A and B are shown apart, each in its own frame.
Chain A
């Protein structure tokens, strides 16, 4: 199999498996676990297939170009170290899958569990085989994300949700820091490629940006590996199903941090800064984690803190300036994965079979589950570092390093062996507590379930792992030796120091230290019996130092108090101050520009004032001011005056040679007015009471300020437009359009050619906006009910609706407005013909789809206004939605057709066709596009107006009751 295929399959298989498992039905437990197991074993097989290359010191590499110019490629790289991790991930993954198959209840949505687990496995594999740092960070964040989903798998419990959120917050924030660090490294090295970075060690260490990069990367690694002071998320992550804990906290998620530290060890380590940050964090975590672990009453909590402590041990080893310490760290990574995973599984079995994980309640399980007890004992002994087990070997290497390592400060050097022994004694104590508490003592009687041995398949993964612990402990050089050598070679290259993996190194100082620690641990456990049986939770001395509480306080401060304070300080929920701010800033920006660049006369002389237009605009200005004056108390008047302003604008367009605009403005004006009048009925009445006390001082000052802003904005825009009008830029885009409108667009109406041809894509976007608006109004009106009518329904309307119950004097078939009614019916076909006329000539003469559509909409509106909704809908089959959809389809379809002729989207074709009676008609494909625009405008306008009109009909149906109650009140 070629390398590239192998590596790609290794990363992609878990994700594909996750997808497949995720698509299974909720109850398909066996199928999902089957998929997961197959994928994990297949990955293990792929890792094994890479062994020949890796064992000979080779590196598998595959590169897939993605953004080569930025140096970002999908680079997969499998050296010895990554190989070891990939093996751990897939191997332990397979065991966890087998275990989870029996652990998970069939009531849980198990396929989802396996889908997350596989996706996490893929992300983790991605981290270890990334050959590019940015890509590594990407997969790193993916692991955070999927661990969030896994920890929160039982999302119905608050503990799971909180734990998941905390894990995501801490590791996600760390991932962000890591990204920053990686970008700095990329800046220093000039490449994100791992090989390039690994060969640039000296350059990185001597660069002035080394320290910031180091701090950021270490932050990422420490948060991920739950190192002090970021350790608190890990115990909370124990709310996850136990297989998740076994997987995430033994071999994968938390190991990603130490993986990264080891990966970058050759280039980043060796400085005092590294030793201080990494070493100190590791040492603190080692001691603190082990100390707290002793006092945990929850089996998984104990294991969680012990995991923190062991990770601290690995981190400390990585922080020492010694290649041998690195070897010990990698060795301990393997050993810890084996014994911690089996212990988590054992804890899960106890929980599963007894229904509790509380050490104080559990007792004497040795009687009911002897085999599990033996397995757990061996694994716990390995954790405690008992000789002839794997934990002993790496612990002895650690002691040797603690004695000889070169530390940045001599006092630290002196306390290191002591600290190592102390931590080791603590670990003996908590291992004893795990075993003694759960399996020995009198048989517990008040357990939620009667304990018995688990299914043998569920025990098999534990058996395999415990066997590994024993075999490695007995015959280290023959079993784990070659793999460790490969991994160390992967990190250090050819500078591997001499180390020996023998069980017996003679009677030396590390052995003495081990024995002292063992004895000390046993004594400590015996002395603490009294306290451990008590009800006091948490470790003595540092109980008040609760990192989780601090974290929560920080979160509350950041996401709640600080945000609140900033909001009250800087924000407002009220619209008026916001608008005032926007207008004010606009004014200031304009004034600032004038201040900086000056305000000079333009290069065009201004043309003489035409008294007619001046007169027209005097009326227009009066209308505008009147609108502003009347909009509060006399809405109908304001709407009428607004229409007047619209007409004056329309005249201005005609005056200055813009017939198309005038036409569109006129039709839009009609529809807008109808729309506003339709809405008036639901607005509350507001009366101007004569002789009322004037507005308060506050209101008056506010108004004065608003008036000043308004006058300022008006003067500003007037000055600006005057300045613009009296200037002409040397080069105008327009000349280009004018030249080509006929020769290339086939139309003499340049505005229309621009809309449907040159800038057709803009128009397409615009009609989509109009369609979206129409659908939104429709949806809003379906969902919400307007307020009660402010005015009673006029007599005419009541007659038309036949609402006769509450009025004796009505005629059932009233003929209100008979003459206009007849006239509108006669006008209807004429208006339609006008619309078609405007539509067809649009390309050459003023007209086009917009105005034609508006004319049709107005024609139908007229029928509604005069004939009433019921009559119109009985006589006209309106389908606004179909018009709307057809319009969009036609317009987009015209654009797409161009593709079939190998042209870009919306390319137009044109010719002139001779039609009988009508004459020469331009038949550009743009005309079809315009028909689409037309249909859309008809549909959208009708949809909005008809929806509004129907609200009033709905109001009438409810009206009789209201009228009755009102009469009662009167």
Chain B
């Protein structure tokens, strides 16, 4: 299973980095979104991949790692998802404002001279 998820992370990272290096702002935003999926999956995977393990304690019980999944990476990723959403929104608005101001959607605010 690990090989599948790590390959997935690799593909997401590769596509994200490729887009990150493109000259159009929209490409960069999408690239960052892909990259954040990759990073979220990576952080999530540091807790180990366990399918079918319980995620919720039964009342009154002190859980152990043998029976339950590692909740800490999950909590971190949950935070990261929300922050990722916020930064995407901010970047999008900055993109739109820059496009309105400069008249181009190039990341540098002007087309590359040749």
Residues on A lying within 8 angstroms of B by beta carbon are 573-576, 579-580, 583, 604, 606-610, 613-614, 617, 620-621, 624-625, 627-628, 631-632, 635, 638-639, 642, 645-646, 649, 652-653, 655-661, 664-665, 668, 671-672, 675-676, 679, 682-684, 686, 706-707, 709-711, 713-722, 724-726, 728, 732-735, 737-743, 748-751, 754-755, 759, 762-763, 766, 769-770, 773-774, 776-777, 780-781, 783-787, 844-846, 850, 937, 940, 944, 947-948, 951
Given contacts A742-B61, A777-B93, could you give 10 more A-B pairs where the C-beta distance is less than 8 Å? A608-B1, A625-B15, A652-B41, A656-B51, A665-B81, A683-B105, A725-B5, A739-B62, A769-B86, A770-B86
Can you report 28 A-B residue pairs in the complex whose CB atoms are below 8 A from each other?
A574-B107, A608-B1, A617-B7, A625-B15, A628-B16, A631-B26, A642-B33, A652-B8, A656-B50, A657-B53, A664-B82, A676-B88, A683-B99, A683-B105, A684-B105, A710-B15, A714-B12, A715-B14, A718-B7, A722-B2, A722-B3, A725-B2, A734-B71, A734-B72, A742-B61, A743-B62, A787-B100, A844-B56
Lowest 9 CB-CB distances: which A-B pairs, in order?
Answer: A714-B14, A718-B10, A738-B63, A710-B18, A628-B15, A750-B71, A784-B97, A722-B6, A748-B57
Question: Which A residues touch B104, using CB under 8 A?
Answer: 684
Contact check, A737 vs B56: say whether CB atoms are below 8 A apart: no
Contact check, A606 vs B1: say whether CB atoms are below 8 A apart: yes
Question: Which B residues touch A610, using CB under 8 A?
Answer: 1, 4, 51
Give the contact-size bracket for chain B.
Answer: 35 or more
Query: CA A646 – CA B8 in complex, angstroms?
Result: 12
Query: CA A757 – CA B30 in complex, angstroms?
Result: 34
Question: Which A residues touch B59, using CB under 8 A?
Answer: 742, 748, 844
Q: Given A683-B105, A751-B71: A735 and B65 within 8 A (CB)?
A: yes
Query: CA A649 – CA B2 in complex, angstroms?
Result: 15
Question: Which B residues touch A607, using CB under 8 A?
Answer: 1-2, 49
Question: Which B residues touch A948, using CB under 8 A?
Answer: 93
Contact check, A845 vs B4: say whether CB atoms are below 8 A apart: no
Partner of B1, one of A609, A714, A738: A609
Partner of A725, one of B37, B45, B90, B105: B45
Contact check, B108 vs A679: say whether CB atoms are below 8 A apart: no
Question: Which A residues touch B42, using CB under 8 A?
Answer: 717, 720-721, 724
Closest to A653 in B: B44
Question: Which B residues touch A682, using CB under 8 A?
Answer: 96, 99-100
Best-buried of A607, A635, A720, A937 by chain B (most CB within 10 Å) = A607
Contact check, A773 vs B74: say whether CB atoms are below 8 A apart: no
Contact check, B34 vs A750: say whether CB atoms are below 8 A apart: no
Question: Which B residues touch A660, using CB under 8 A?
Answer: 55, 74, 78
Contact check, B81 vs A657: say whether CB atoms are below 8 A apart: no
Best-buried of B13, B59, B60 by chain A (most CB within 10 Å) = B13
Chain B contacts with A in 65-98, Cβ cutoff 8 A? 65, 68-72, 74-75, 77-79, 81-90, 92-97
Closest to B47 in A: A734
Q: How close is A737's CB to chain B, nearest CB, in angstroms?
A: 6
Contact check, A664 vs B96: say whether CB atoms are below 8 A apart: no
Contact check, A713 vs B82: say whether CB atoms are below 8 A apart: no
Question: Which B residues touch A706, using CB under 8 A?
Answer: 18, 21-22
Query: CA A675 – CA B93 in complex, angstroms?
Result: 10
Closest to B14 in A: A714
Q: How close is B21's CB to chain A, nearest CB, in angstroms?
A: 4
Q: Given A576-B107, A614-B4: A845 and B56 within 8 A (CB)?
A: yes
Q: Given A741-B63, A940-B86: A661 and B96 within 8 A (CB)?
A: no
**Chain A contact residues, majority secondary structure:** helix
Query: CA A683 – CA B93 in complex, angstroms?
Result: 12
Q: Given A628-B15, A684-B99, A728-B48: A575 and B108 within 8 A (CB)?
A: yes
Contact check, A609 vs B3: say whether CB atoms are below 8 A apart: yes
Contact check, B92 vs A583: say whether CB atoms are below 8 A apart: no
Contact check, A741 vs B21: say whether CB atoms are below 8 A apart: no
Query: CA A732 – CA B64 in complex, angstroms?
Result: 11
Query: CA A777 – CA B85 in complex, angstroms?
Result: 13
Q: How close is A926's CB to chain B, nearest CB, in angstroms?
A: 13
Question: Which A residues touch B31, using CB under 8 A?
Answer: 628, 631
Q: How close is B99's CB to chain A, nearest CB, in angstroms?
A: 5
Q: Given A710-B15, A714-B13, A766-B82: A737 and B72 within 8 A (CB)?
A: yes
Question: Which B residues touch A739, using CB under 8 A?
Answer: 62-64
Query: CA A710 – CA B82 in complex, angstroms?
Result: 26
Query: CA A661 – CA B81 in complex, angstroms?
Result: 8
Contact check, B90 vs A580: say whether CB atoms are below 8 A apart: no
Query: CA A675 – CA B84 in complex, angstroms?
Result: 13
Question: Which A residues touch B75, using CB under 8 A?
Answer: 751, 754-755, 759
Q: How close is A842's CB to chain B, nearest CB, in angstroms?
A: 11
Partner of A613, one of B4, B19, B95: B4
Best-buried of B1, B60, B88, B107 by chain A (most CB within 10 Å) = B1
Q: How close is B74's CB to chain A, nearest CB, in angstroms?
A: 5
Contact check, A661 vs B78: say whether CB atoms are below 8 A apart: yes
Partner of A780, one of B37, B50, B85, B97: B97
Question: Which A residues touch B105, using CB under 8 A?
Answer: 683-684
Contact check, B10 vs A624: say whether CB atoms are below 8 A apart: no
Q: How close is A509's CB to chain B, nearest CB, in angstroms?
A: 77
Contact check, B86 vs A773: say whether CB atoms are below 8 A apart: yes
Contact check, A750 vs B19: say whether CB atoms are below 8 A apart: no
Best-buried of A675, A717, A742, A783 by chain B (most CB within 10 Å) = A717
Closest to B40 in A: A649
Question: Which A residues touch B13, using CB under 8 A?
Answer: 713-714, 716-718
Contact check, B6 vs A751: say whether CB atoms are below 8 A apart: no
Contact check, A710 vs B55: say whether CB atoms are below 8 A apart: no
Contact check, B17 vs A710: say whether CB atoms are below 8 A apart: yes
Q: How close is A653's CB to chain B, nearest CB, in angstroms?
A: 7
Contact check, B65 vs A658: say whether CB atoms are below 8 A apart: no
Query: CA A631 – CA B32 in complex, angstroms?
Result: 12
Contact check, B57 vs A937: say whether CB atoms are below 8 A apart: no
Q: How close is B13's CB to chain A, nearest CB, in angstroms?
A: 4
Query: CA A617 – CA B38 in complex, angstroms?
Result: 13
Q: How close is A827's CB to chain B, nearest CB, in angstroms?
A: 23
Contact check, A714 vs B71: say whether CB atoms are below 8 A apart: no
Closest to A646 in B: B37
Q: How close is B77's CB to chain A, nearest CB, in angstroms?
A: 6
Contact check, A672 vs B70: say whether CB atoms are below 8 A apart: no
Q: Given A725-B6, A725-B49, A734-B65: A649 and B21 within 8 A (CB)?
A: no
Q: How close is A781's CB to chain B, nearest CB, in angstroms?
A: 6
Question: Which A residues touch B44, using CB under 8 A?
Answer: 653, 656, 658, 661
Question: Which B residues touch A724, using CB under 8 A?
Answer: 42, 45-46
Contact check, B94 vs A780: say whether CB atoms are below 8 A apart: yes
Q: How close is A756's CB to chain B, nearest CB, in angstroms?
A: 10
Q: Given A607-B1, A660-B78, A710-B21: A721 and B14 within 8 A (CB)?
A: no
Query: CA A783 – CA B98 in complex, angstroms?
Result: 12
Question: Which B residues touch A721, using CB under 8 A?
Answer: 5-6, 9-10, 41-42, 45
Query: CA A682 – CA B99 in complex, angstroms?
Result: 8
Closest to A933 in B: B82
